[in-house]
Structure 1
Amino acid sequence: MAELRPQHRYSYRDDPSVPDFEDGGPIAVMDGECTLCSWGARMIARLDRTAAFRICPLQSATGTALARHYGLDPGDPETWLLLDEGQAWSGMDAIIRIGQRLGGVGRLASGMRVLPRPAREWVYRRIARNRYRLGRSDMCALPDPALRARLLQ
């Protein structure tokens, strides 16, 4: 798995290749064609009672530019990114942070912290590399109103 390129907080604001976007809350950049990621986006929309999270499909201009800014390959199935307060996380670390931020049942994801980081990332890579076996979907095609309100293109 590619490691995030170290950057200072909000470094993407200074990158001319990253389109301007509203970054006042956490942003999950994920595969918009993956059934598992689409389910994850809907869960974020359902569990985020404060409506703070935005969802950005990796295939969008913004998602692709953000991935590249942090040294990630937008075509790599392991690419998944969380931006929160201008800082970036990827892989299982991103999922754990989202779960903690959502609270409630979302905190179940933080149970992965019992595993050492290499083991967590191994699990993440196995899931990421096989995610299309569950099928494909288009998160942006006909999203429910809760998800549509959070989509960042």
Structure 2
Amino acid sequence: MAKPDTDHDIILFDGQCMLCSRIVRFVIRRDPKKRFRFAALESEAGKAVLKQVRTEAGGFAGRRSRTADEGVTDAVLEADVKAAPDTFMLVRSGRIYMKSRAGLEVVRRLRGMWPLLYVCIVVPGPLRDRIYDYIARNRYRWFGAYDHCMLLTPDNKDRFIE
């Protein structure tokens, strides 16, 4: 498994959620430049990434704003990390994006037509996140859950941080 570094964006996801695992596989297939690395939020690696970002940045980017589009304040992050399985996060250059904004930032860097979805950024963040929260609350019922984190294959093992 790979070590965290600043050359790659890191996607933090719920390792037991089947929808989240499908999204990770979806991103891997559409990321031939291997820009993204992955870690389950509940893993030690995921927790370490969050701690590292907080330490290096002296807090989280976007302290001046509580909106998802501006980043995350410490208080907001603390609340969301406690509810971590409902939160999809992207760490890029010491900044954390969450929920719908994280998803939009990810599709923006995929190959094919997927970056066109970034146009959804014009929808106000609170509205996008309400939709995100609705899906997150129902994801286990709709898509199921694993009893364990997704299994790595030799082809993608280097994409996950340890």
The TM-score normalised by the length of structure 2 is: 0.71
Alignment partner for residue 127 of structure 1, among 130, 135, 140?
Answer: 135
- Matching of residue 136 in structure 1 with residue 145 in structure 2: yes
Q: Which one of the candidate residues 1, 24, 27 is aligned to 2:7?
A: 24
Identity %: 32
Supply the AA of the counterpart residue of 1:52: R
Asked if 1:38 corresponds to 2:21, the answer is: yes
- Which has the larger helix fraction? 2
Q: Which aligned pairs between 1:24-103 and structure 2 lie closer than 5 A?
A: 24-67=7-50, 69=54, 70-71=77-78, 72-103=80-111
Instruction: Give the deviation of 1:139 after TM superposition.
Output: 7.6
1:33 alignment partner, SS class: coil
How far apart are 1:118 and its partner, in Å?
1.6
2:112 to 101, 104, 110: 104
Structure 1 residues 141, 115: closer, same or farther in 2, change over 3 A?
closer
The TM-score with structure 1 as length reference comes to: 0.75
Which ranges in structure 2 are unaligned for 5 or more consecutive residues?
55-76
Q: Please report how far the alpha carbon of residue 142 of structure 1 lies from its aligned counterpart in structure 2 after TM superposition.
A: 2.6
Report the count of equivalent residues.
Answer: 134
Q: Aligned-pair distance for 1:41? A: 0.5
Indicate how the Cα distance of structure 1 residues 100 and 66 shifts in structure 2: closer, same or farther if over 3 A, else same.
same
CA contact (8 A) 2:8 2:35 kept: yes
Change (3 A) 1:150 1:128: same
CA gap 1:86/1:67 in 2 versus in 1, 3 angstroms: closer
Structure-2 change in CA distance of 1:108 and 1:143 (3 Å): farther
- Answer whether contact 1:46 1:146 (CA < 8 A) is retained: no
How far has the Cα of 1:116 moved from its partner? 2.0
Q: CA RMSD in A?
A: 2.3
Structure 1 gap ranges (5+): 1-19
Deviations 1:83-124 (Å, cap 9, x if unpaired)? 112211001000000010124233254243242222101110
Match of 1:151 in 2: 160
